[in-house]
Every structure is written in C-alpha cells, then in structure tokens.
Amino acid sequence: MKRFVMSLFILFFLASTPSVFGQEKKVEFDKNFSHVVYFWLKNPENIDDRQAFEASLKKFLRNSKYAQTKFIGVPAQTPREVVDNSYTYSLILSFPSKEIQNKYQQEEAHLKFIDESSSLWEKVLVYDSIGID
C-alpha cells in the first residue's frame, strides 16, 4: 500500500511539473510595457519567404533574454471597417519596464533577427505602450 501511495504521489508531482511533459511555463502579460510590431512581407505569397521569416523570428524569440510575452500572429481576417488585415505577421512582446525594452532593442538575438529578415519585409510598424493603472 505504501508503494502504491508513493507511486501516486510521484506521478502527481511529475504531472504537475511544467517541464516534465513538454509543457512550458506560461508567462503572464506584463502590463508595464508592450511592444507591438506589424510586418508586411515583400512577397507574402512566397512560401519560402514566409518559412524563412518564421524560422528567424522563432529563433530570435527563443534566444531573447528580455522579451516576456512572445506572441506571433497573422491577420484574423475579421471583416470590420476599423480592422486592418493588410499586414503579414504581428508580434506582441511585453517587458517589465521601458529600460528593459531598451536593452532588448540592442540585444544580439534581436539584431541578428533584423539582419537575417529585413530583406524579406517592405514595411514595419511598431506601437510601444506603457501601462496605466
């Protein structure tokens, strides 16, 4: 009986540990500073360009020391007059402060992403915001 209870305890512990079964720890959106980027690729229909862009972007986010929330998106194609669905990709990041976001701007992973991928886009728009209470 002790073995059974101990086995259940170990199984429960392992199942509730995020890294054991490939579950990543979720990061809460930091309301102090948000960095929202929209990319328009030069050739949005080109599968090779899209794959290269996505691979570079994902590598950058894996290696970023500063970005917390890491969201990559594509237009949801919501048909409302106030919605702009013309971009190819969106990126939403959050940071604990403007100072940390400034460090992110100069980090190697971010600069490498720009170097690798800037030839793929024709336009980039950035919206930075600080939170209010």
Structural domain contains residue 55:
yes
Q: Which residues contact 78 (CB under 8 A, 6 or more apart)?
A: 85
Has residue 69 been placed in a domain? yes
Instruction: Evaluate whether residue 44 is within a structural domain.
Output: yes
Summarised one tens digit per residue, pLDDT across range 5-31 is 343 333 333 344 444 444 455 556 567
In a domain, 21, yes or no: no
Flag whether 48 is in a domain.
yes
Which amino acid is it at 56? S
Question: Exposure of 110 by Cβ count < 10 A (0-12 exposed, 13-18 middle, 19+ buried)?
Answer: buried
Q: Considering only CA atoms, which of 111, 69, 65, 112 is closest in space to residue 90?
A: 69
Closest CA to 32 of 82, 94, 91, 75: 94
Residue 6 belongs to a domain: no
* pLDDT per residue as tens digits for the range 61-119: 999 999 988 999 999 999 899 999 999 999 999 999 999 999 999 999 999 999 999 99
* pLDDT on residue 27: 53
Instruction: Provide the pLDDT for residue 132.
Output: 86
Counting the structural domains of the chain, the total is: 1
In a domain, 16, yes or no: no
| CATH number, residue 34 | 3.30.70.100
**Is the predicted pLDDT of residue 129 greater than 70, yes or no?**
yes
Q: Residue 97: give the domain boundaries.
A: 26-130
Whether residue 20 is contained in a domain is answered as: no
